[in-house]
Structure formats: structure tokens, C-alpha cells
Amino acid sequence: MVRAHEVRAHAVLRVEAGPDGSARVVEARSAIPLVLRHTDTTVPRRAPSGAAPERDEARRVQDLTPPVLPTVTMHLVGAAAGPLAGDQLRLDISVGPGVRLVLRSVAATLAMPGHGPGPSVMEIHADVAAGGALDLLPEPTVAVRGCRHRMVGRAVVAAGGWLRWREEVLLGRFGEPSGQVETDLRVDIRVPADDPRLPAGDPTVPADERRPLVGDRPLLRQQLLLGPDVPGLTGAALLGSARAVGSLLIAAPAALSQQASGPGPAGLGVPASVTAPAASGGARTPGGAAVLPLAGPGVLVTALAADAVTLRRHLGP
């Protein structure tokens, strides 16, 4: 039974290529407070005839750009305050082959306390087809004092797909202690049925009668618990004095590397690195960023900062 002070909302966004190759929104089902707005559609310029395809020569995260595809830009609008404790929100995203979806939000999300029996939950489930691309770049989530909030992310990227997913959490408003927030992000790579890494079918069954095997290979499992009750959270081993926490994941399995030798290198050619915060006037500045190559291939950037502006500089626009 749903109590009167709890909200259940399930929004759906699906983008596919039309008959003419253009990007089309084939389903945009809003559910208050999750309201979807279509803000732009672009068609890429044609490359000069005979031009050779560009190779992936990126050596920095900033150089990792999505494939040039017809693009739909959508914005997520919060049509009500919250989420409040007990609210259950979910957004399902599907991107088909040959198109790119850029999904942003118009403002930060304020996770707030409420009268619900459990935490508020915001779930995002994304599926990116081979040849498709998804840029998921919402504004930060602010853990307001007294809140209990869970951010759940699930994504499956097919071989030949492309995903960029940014998460940012601010620990309270200005001058305010943080509420409790938990993030849980899981990303898998969908392996084609004929991939040799999949187990062979039952040898007693004729080959033409075996069911195709399709597997999801784990790329990332990341959980983070933040809040005033977390032991040692403000110690040097965890956040220190940082008030902003974030991550940026880029996954581009196999086909988009355009390398004849097979799947691209772990990390898409971007090496592991750690960037210390810039100190001003000899003062100790919290934060910094780390780049971790992933065997997918992919790259994960994690960052800490004193404020939202500095955090965004680490993770990109």
C-alpha cells in the first residue's frame, strides 16, 4: 500500500533512428516529478568524401568524445520538491543503434527528509544498443540535512555502443551538515551471441537447435555510503574536508575503437593518473581526482572537491 505522503513515479525515454536515419524520440513518458522535455535535435555534418575515419588517439579523458551521430537532447525537469523519504522514482532509458541521446537536468536535485518509512530512491536504468551513444549528465544531487536517499544506476552497453555517465553528490547545502546518501552504480557490457568468450552450448543438442547465448560482462560495480553516521568519513583516508564527491564513467566497448586488431586497450588509451588539488596561498585544499582505466574498454574518473564548481572542473562540462 502506498501512503498518501509517498510518491511512486516511473518515467520512460526511448530514442531510435527513423527511416531517414534521423534521431527520433519514439517514447517520452513523464511521471511527476520526473518530467521530460525535448530541447534539441541535431544532424551531424557529413564528412568529406574519401576522408579516412579518425582513429582513437586520446591520451586524456577530455579527448574521449562520443561518435558523431544524429543527436537528441532532452532535459529532465523536477516538477515537485524532493525526493522525500519514502519516494520511489525510476527512469528507464533506451538508445537504439545509429543515434545519440544527451540527457541533462535543468537544476540540482535536493534529496530531503520526509515522513516515509524508508529512504527516498532514484533509479536510472539505461540500455545502449550497438552503434548507439548515451550522454547522461545530470546536475548534482544535494544531500539535505536529515535526508535518507539512495541513487541506483544500472546500465547495459552493447559491444559497439558508447556511454558517458556522470554522478555528483553535494554533502548538504551551504553551511549545513550532510544527510545520508548511498550510491550504487553497476554497468555491464552486452556480449554478442557469437563471442568466443561465452561458454559453449550443450554439445548433445544439434548446433542449429541451440538457443543463442548472450551474456552481460561486468564492467563496473561501485557503491558509496556518505553521511554523518559513516565512521571516519571526514578522515584523511576517505573524504577529509571535501564537501563534493563525484564520478565520470566512459564506456566504449570494442567496435567504436575502430582498430582492426580487435577490442581497444583498457582505458581507451588513457593512462591511470592522480591529480592533486591546486593549492592557493599555501592553504590546504581538499580533493583531487583519479583516473582509472577499465577493461571494457572504459575509463572511470573519481573526484573530491570543496564545492560543486571545482568538482565539475574535475569531471568535465
- Maximum separation of any 2 CA atoms in the chain, in Å: 73
Buried b (16+ CB within 10 A) or exposed e, 139-172: bbbbbbebbbbbbbbebbbbbbbbbbbbbbbbbb
Q: What was the pLDDT predicted at 96?
A: 97
Do residues 151 and 118 make contact, with C-beta atoms less than 8 angstroms apart?
A: no
Three-state secondary-structure class, residue 164? strand
Phi, psi of 310 (to 5 degrees): -65, -40
Three-state secondary-structure class, residue 269? helix
Question: How open is the CA angle 189-220-315, to the nearest 5 degrees?
Answer: 110
Q: What was the pLDDT predicted at 81?
A: 83
Reading across the β-sheet that carries 215-226, which strands appear in turn? Answer: 23-29, 8-17, 88-95, 120-128, 148-158, 180-191, 215-226
Q: What was the pLDDT predicted at 165?
A: 98
Q: What was the pLDDT predicted at 162?
A: 96
List all residues 6 or more positions away from 185 whose beta carbon is below 8 Å from its beta carbon. 153, 165, 167, 220, 221, 222, 223, 247, 249
Q: What was the pLDDT predicted at 197?
A: 47
Instruction: List 125's β-bridge partners, or say none.
Output: 92, 154
Buried b (16+ CB within 10 A) or exposed e, 206-219: eeeeeeeeeeebeb
- In three state form, how does the secondary structure of 40-86 look? EEECCCCCCCCCCCCCCCCCCHHHCCCCCCCEEEEEEEECCCCCECC
Distance CA 315, CA 255 (A): 25
Do residues 243 and 169 make contact, with C-beta atoms less than 8 angstroms apart?
A: no
Residue with cell 550504487: 184
**Cis preceding linkage at 33, omega within 30:** yes
| 252, containing H or E segment | none
Do residues 15 and 41 make contact, with C-beta atoms less than 8 angstroms apart?
A: no
Q: What was the pLDDT predicted at 57?
A: 58
> What number of other Cβ atoms are within 10 A of residue 312's Cβ?
18
> What number of other Cβ atoms are within 10 A of residue 232's Cβ?
9
Q: What is the pLDDT of residues 255-286, one digit of tens each?
A: 644 433 444 456 788 989 998 876 665 555 67
Do residues 154 and 144 make contact, with C-beta atoms less than 8 angstroms apart?
A: no
Please state the pTM of the whole predicted model.
0.86
Do residues 5 and 114 make contact, with C-beta atoms less than 8 angstroms apart?
A: yes
Q: What was the pLDDT predicted at 50?
A: 43
Q: Which residues of the chain have pLDDT under 50?
A: 1, 47-55, 197-199, 210-213, 256-264
Do residues 75 and 106 make contact, with C-beta atoms less than 8 angstroms apart?
A: yes
